[in-house]
Amino acid sequence: MEMDLSPVETTKLNNLWRTSRFQHSWRTVQNIVNCRERVTNYFVRNMLMIVISCIAGTGLFLSQELGILSNNIFWGKIMMLIARLIIFLIVLQILSVLIYSFIGPAWEAKQRGKLRRIYEREILEPILQVLYPSAKIDTENDISPNNVEEVVPVAKYYIQSGIINLNNEKNVEIVDLYAYSMLDGSSTSNRKIKNKYEISKFMGQVYSIKNTQSLKGNLRIVPTKHFLLIETQGDYLDTMTGGRKINVEDIQHNEHYNIYCTDEQSARMFLTPNVIKWFNNNITDHRLSLYSKDSHIYIADYNNKRLFSPPKDKSDLSSWRIERTARDIKYVLAFAGEIIEII
**Which tens digits make up the pLDDT trace of 295-309?**
899 999 999 999 999
Looking at the chain, the whole-number percentage of residues with pLDDT higher than 70 is 93
* pLDDT surpasses 80 at 284: no
pLDDT of residue 17: 96
The C-alpha atoms of residue 112 and residue 332 are separated, in whole angstroms, by: 24
pLDDT of residue 153: 92
The C-alpha atoms of residue 298 and residue 151 are separated, in whole angstroms, by: 7
Lowest mean pLDDT among 46-50, 135-139, 182-186: 182-186
Region 19-45 average pLDDT: 89
What are the pLDDT digits (tens) for 171-229?
Answer: 899 999 999 998 765 544 455 555 567 889 999 999 999 887 778 889 999 998 877 77
Query: Residues 43, 47, 48, 51: what is their CA dihedral angle, to the nearest 10 degrees?
Result: 180
What are the pLDDT digits (tens) for 147-170?
Answer: 999 999 999 999 999 999 998 888
CB 172 within 8 A of CB 208: yes
* pLDDT surpasses 90 at 20: yes
Confidence of residue 144 (pLDDT cuts 50, 70, 90): confident
pLDDT of residue 1: 59
The C-alpha atoms of residue 163 and residue 172 are separated, in whole angstroms, by: 10
CB 240 within 8 A of CB 218: yes
Q: Which of 291, 292, 288 is nearest to 279 (CA)?
A: 288
CB 42 within 8 A of CB 97: no
Q: Which of 268, 284, 264, 266 is nearest to 276 (CA)?
A: 268
137/68: higher pLDDT: 137
What are the pLDDT digits (tens) for 83-133?
Answer: 888 888 888 888 888 888 888 778 788 888 899 999 999 999 999 999 999
Average pLDDT, the chain: 86
CB 137 within 8 A of CB 200: no
Query: What is the C-alpha end-to-end distance of the chain, expressed in Å?
Result: 21
CB 288 within 8 A of CB 298: no
Instruction: Phi first, then psi: give them for residue 328, nearest 5 degrees.
Output: -60, -45
How many other C-beta atoms are found inside a 10 Å radius of the C-beta of residue 128?
Answer: 24
pLDDT of residue 293: 85
* pLDDT surpasses 50 at 259: yes
What are the pLDDT digits (tens) for 320-335?
Answer: 999 999 999 999 999 9
Looking at the chain, the whole-number percentage of residues with pLDDT higher than 90 is 44
Region 61-73 average pLDDT: 70
pLDDT of residue 123: 96
Q: Which of 180, 205, 198, 35 is nearest to 115 (CA)?
A: 35
The C-alpha atoms of residue 321 and residue 317 are separated, in whole angstroms, by: 9
pLDDT of residue 69: 65
19/86: higher pLDDT: 19
